[in-house]
């Protein structure tokens, strides 16, 4: 696997670390458990990192030196592709011939390197986009920065080079075909999974005591990177509107924001806190730095509901994980969230990002105990359909299909 711009060992929730990090390491672990060894190549971002780290049985993370350890933004990484690719090829050259059976690249930067490795090693390239520039640019959040033309071109090149493209949902598959002219016969839908042993229902009173939350509070949780794309401001504006309508809620309303600045949010790292002050949400909103996965599971379990107001999600791991904890989700009706969240069954989907519509949805869950109870039960059922074991099985079949497609191309 190639995950150039973010290491699967990084803490999700800040910088460039997020759902993709979780995806790469969890998939690799399950592939290894099913008998396929995985090497993950990523760019070293510190001189303190060991060149080779055994992350799990059968999973090795290789830190490649390409450019300065710190200070490079994601936009500057294309300038390091040649150095990174050279070191990946050099690592393979030290192995016995035929050491790798397939390359699975994650995000377009990795796909550029993967395409070169494919041709040099004679193995199939499987690529996961994770996010797509054309999709993001069609639904930009206010204040967000459009993806550059260089990324669009790079993505188009990877789509053409890959033997098989992995889409998280049917919608993403259609976007690859319609927006990037991908060959429909080379697109496979494989849903990401959830660690159902980690994200599970926990005793709410217990975890609330551990997290310092009032036992009788209405807890509306946001978890993720703080950037316009993820829409945390949408939740804050909706909460302000809800309190305008129902001032009495302030006594028991708590809105934890768990995560750190990322992407264009790094330009104004205090913008969300400033907005909270402007909206008069002091004492309601709590900012919590990124937490480890086990702690995140406790936050999900402690919440009354989890809000996912993103402007785009290729899947929506936060929504899936929250549902696995038995917590209803209120999410934007965009991208993969329309697959992950079953409207009226495991949560509510909101069209658009207008504060009034979001306040309506939040209030529905808070003011209707029967609905909240049904959504909690539905959330567990919905999440049970996503597991990393099933993802790994489907991916192994995809690798074999990619190998077959590559052979057909050679024979043609």
Same domain, 248 and 281: yes
Residue 102 lies in a domain: yes
* HSE, side-chain direction, 13 A CA sphere, residue 365: 29
Whether the per-residue pLDDT at 274 is higher than 80: the answer is yes
User: What's the confidence (pLDDT) of residue 200?
Assistant: 97
180 is in an annotated binding site: no
Whether the per-residue pLDDT at 48 is higher than 70: the answer is yes
Residue 251 CB coordination number (10 Å): 10
Confidence tier at 265 by pLDDT (50, 70, 90)? very low
Same domain, 31 and 18: yes
3-class SS of residue 169: coil
19 is in an annotated binding site: yes
Q: Give me the mean pLDDT over the 157-185 stretch.
A: 97
Same domain, 121 and 226: no
Q: Which residues of 163-180 are buried (b: 16+ CB within 10 A; e: fewer)?
A: bbbbbbbebbbebbbebb
Whether the per-residue pLDDT at 193 is higher than 80: the answer is yes
Same domain, 315 and 178: no
Cα gap 356→69, rounded to integer Å:
45
Same domain, 41 and 185: yes
Same domain, 30 and 100: yes
20 is in an annotated binding site: yes
User: What's the confidence (pLDDT) of residue 187?
Assistant: 98
Lowest mean pLDDT among 8-22, 355-369, 380-394: 8-22
Residue 199 lies in a domain: no
Whether the per-residue pLDDT at 261 is higher than 90: the answer is no
Confidence tier at 409 by pLDDT (50, 70, 90)? confident
3-class SS of residue 190: coil
Q: Which of 5, 55, 27 is nearest to 126 (CA)?
A: 27
Same domain, 154 and 230: no
75 vs 219, more confident: 219
312 is in an annotated binding site: no
User: What's the confidence (pLDDT) of residue 264?
Assistant: 46
Whether the per-residue pLDDT at 17 is higher than 80: the answer is no
Same domain, 126 and 211: no
Count of the separate structural domains present in the chain: 2
237 is in an annotated binding site: no
CATH code for the domain of 280: 3.40.50.2000
Q: Give me the mean pLDDT over the 267-288 stretch.
A: 88
User: What's the confidence (pLDDT) of residue 269?
Assistant: 60
Residue 198 lies in a domain: no
98 is in an annotated binding site: no
Cα gap 284→37, rounded to integer Å:
47
321 is in an annotated binding site: yes
107 is in an annotated binding site: yes
Cα gap 311→263, rounded to integer Å:
14
DSSP letters, 170-188, are HHHHHHHHHHH---GGGEE
| Contact present, 239 and 309 (Cβ < 8 Å) | no
Residue 359 lies in a domain: yes
Whether the per-residue pLDDT at 44 is higher than 60: the answer is yes
Whether the per-residue pLDDT at 263 is higher than 80: the answer is no
Q: What is the DSSP letter of 387?
A: -
Same domain, 397 and 353: no
Cα gap 332→391, rounded to integer Å:
24
Computed over every residue of the chain, the mean pLDDT equals 93
What is the domain range of residue 102? 2-193+388-411
291 is in an annotated binding site: yes
User: What's the confidence (pLDDT) of residue 316?
Assistant: 93
Residues 6+ apart with CB under 8 A from 180: 132, 134, 155, 156, 159
Assigned token pair, 275: 């907005």
Same domain, 14 and 77: yes
Same domain, 52 and 167: yes
Whether the per-residue pLDDT at 14 is higher than 70: the answer is no
């Amino acid at each position: 696997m190639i995950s150039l711009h973010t290491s699967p060992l990084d803490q999700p929730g800040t910088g460039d670390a997020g759902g993709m990090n979780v995806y790469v390491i969890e998939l690799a672990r399950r592939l290894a458990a099913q008998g396929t060894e995985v090497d993950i190549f990523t760019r070293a971002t510190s001189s303190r990192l060991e060149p080779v780290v055994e992350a799990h049985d059968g999973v090795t993370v290789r830190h490649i030196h390409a450019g300065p350890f710190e200070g490079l933004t994601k936009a500057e990484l294309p300038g390091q592709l040649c150095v990174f690719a050279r070191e990946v090829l050099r690592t393979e050259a030290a192995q016995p011939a035929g050491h790798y059976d397939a390359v699975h690249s994650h995000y377009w930067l990795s796909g550029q390197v993967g395409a070169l490795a494919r041709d040099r090693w004679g193995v199939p390239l499987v690529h996961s986009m994770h996010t797509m520039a054309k999709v993001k640019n069609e639904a930009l959040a206010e204040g967000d920065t459009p993806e550059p033309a260089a990324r669009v071109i790079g993505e188009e090149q990877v789509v053409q080079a890959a033997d098989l493209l992995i889409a998280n949902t049917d919608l993403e598959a259609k976007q690859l075909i319609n927006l990037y002219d991908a060959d429909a016969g080379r697109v496979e839908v494989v849903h990401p999974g959830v660690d159902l042993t980690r994200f599970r229902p926990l005793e709410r009173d217990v975890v609330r005591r551990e997290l310092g939350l009032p036992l009788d509070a209405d807890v509306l949780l946001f978890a993720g990177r703080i950037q316009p794309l993820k829409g945390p401001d949408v939740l804050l504006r909706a909460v302000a509107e809800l309190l305008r309508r129902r001032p009495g809620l302030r006594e028991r309303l708590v809105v934890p924001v768990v995560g750190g600045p990322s992407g264009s949010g790094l330009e104004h790292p205090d913008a969300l806190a400033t907005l909270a002050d402007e909206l008069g949400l002091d004492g309601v909103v709590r900012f919590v730095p990124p937490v480890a996965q086990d702690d995140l599971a406790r936050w999900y379990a402690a919440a009354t509901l989890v809000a996912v107001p993103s402007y785009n999600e290729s899947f929506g791991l936060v929504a899936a994980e929250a549902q696995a904890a038995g917590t209803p989700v209120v999410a934007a009706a965009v991208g993969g969230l329309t697959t992950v969240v079953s409207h009226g069954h495991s949560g509510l989907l909101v069209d658009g990002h207008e504060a009034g519509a979001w306040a309506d949805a939040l209030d529905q869950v808070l003011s209707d105990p029967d609905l909240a109870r049904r959504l909690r039960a539905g959330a567990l059922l919905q999440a049970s359909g996503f597991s990393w074991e099933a993802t790994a099985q489907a991916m192994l079949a995809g690798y074999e299909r990619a190998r077959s497609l590559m052979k057909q191309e050679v024979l043609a």
